Amino acid sequence: MKTYLDCIPCFFKQALDAAKLAGANKSTQKKILKALSKEVLKFDLKECPTAMGRILYKLVRQITGRHDPFKEIKQKSNEFALSLYPRLKKKAERSKDRLLAALELAIAGNIIDYGIKSSLNIDREIDKLFAEEDRIIRREDKGLFDYPSFRRALKKAKKILYIGDNAGEVVFDKILIEEMEDKEIIYVVRGGPIINDALAEDAAFCGIDKYARIVSSGCDAPGTILKFCTGNFRKIFKEAGFIISKGQGNFEALAGEKAPVFFLFRAKCPVVTKHLGCKLGDIILKKAD
């Protein structure tokens, strides 16, 4: 997905939020915004928004001198999500369609963003998801929740390339991965610290290593931009017959690629909802064009 002009104000907002979260004082925050102004002047809008995300969070790291400012937040998310695991698992097991329930949970897990503060919110979100089956039917019409295609494609697949997104969310991915236990699964994490995105240590902490081989994409953007990935990952991606891509950042980065991808995410910003023709917060299961 290309970058829209409406993304630009948001880049400044993200940089400021990240600078504050990294504990930067006002003068450092200002330095970051000024550095970002210079980068915006050079940025090619044909690139995806995630490519600017990569630049802006790198600026925050460099200027604050903090290599992984979200480390603690990630660890808390992991622990919090693991504490939910027994309840999540029960919900999936009790469902008429376990795969669908697990899929919805995996997308629900995409709300674990560093913005989410209380366990109450997540409980409410999970309950809401299970109560909204009619919404899912409406979404099928638009091709934005294409469960039948997903189910068919999954049946044929022997290997799955599962591209993860945030720390904590990994636990929700585990529920879905457990429903595909008969497949050979590769779980992909980022190549370096970027916001609260899952690294190999997060995936392992959440127990993904029991079900999948954990592989780094090599990319330190908040989405999997192939040109910034390792040659090894690009080879795995190219050869994959069935890919699950979690989160909006991965959607932005991979939406233009010719590959057998199913994108699973919540639409979190007005630019993406406009791009897709959906509503803010909608849960999306979309086959790549």
Asked if residue 13 binds a second copy (CB under 8 A), the reply is: yes
CA distance 77 to 75: 5
Task: Return the SS3 of 263.
Answer: strand
Binding mask 29-68 for a second copy (x = CB under 8 A): xx--xx--xx-xx---x-----------------------
Q: Closest approach of Cβ 7 to a second copy, in Å?
A: 10
| Nearer CB in complex with a second copy: 43/262 | 43
Q: Is 274 in the site for a second copy (CB under 8 A)?
A: no
Q: Which of 16, 112, 186, 264 binds a second copy (CB under 8 A)?
A: 16
The footprint of a second copy on residues 95-124 (CB under 8 A) is none
270 binds a second copy (CB under 8 A): no
| Strand partners for 216 | 189
Min CB(15)–a second copy separation in Å: 9
For position 6 contacting a second copy by CB under 8 A, the verdict is: yes
Binding window for a second copy (CB under 8 A); candidates: 11-19, 72-80, 135-143, 265-273: 11-19
| Least Å from the CB of residue 11 to a second copy | 8
CA 30 to chain centre: 29
Q: Does 137 bind a second copy (CB under 8 A)?
A: no
The token pair that represents 275 in the structure block: 């791009």
Residue 159 β-bridge partners: 184
Residue 193 CB, shortest distance to a second copy, in Å, is 23
Q: Under a CB-based contact definition with an 8 Å cutoff, are residues 280 and 267 in contact?
A: yes
Neighbouring-strand partners of residue 209? none
Per CB under 8 A, does 25 bind a second copy?
Answer: no
**Binding test (CB under 8 A) with a second copy, winner from 12, 80, 85, 211:** 12
The candidate with the shortest Cα–Cα distance to 278, out of 164, 130, 145, is 145
Q: Which is nearer to a second copy, 48 or 106 (CB)?
A: 48
Q: Does 275 bind a second copy (CB under 8 A)?
A: no
101 close to 95: Cβ distance less than 8 angstroms: yes
Find how far residue 20's CA is from the centre of its chain: 22
The tokens for 218 are 């090599």
x/- site string to a second copy, residues 227 to 246, per CB under 8 A? Answer: --------------------
Question: Please, which residues have CB within 8 angstroms of residue 200's CB and are 6 or more apart in sequence?
Answer: 189, 214, 216
Q: Report if residue 26 touches a second copy, rule: CB under 8 A.
A: yes
What is the distance between the alpha carbons of residues 258 and 68, in angstroms, rounded to a whole number? Answer: 33
Residues with Cβ within 8 Å of residue 45, at least 6 apart in sequence = 2, 3, 4, 5
Contact 187, 162 (CB under 8 A): yes
**Under rule CB under 8 A, residue 10 binds a second copy:** yes
Binding site residues, a second copy, CB under 8 A = 5-6, 8-10, 12-13, 16, 26, 29-30, 33-34, 37-38, 40-41, 45
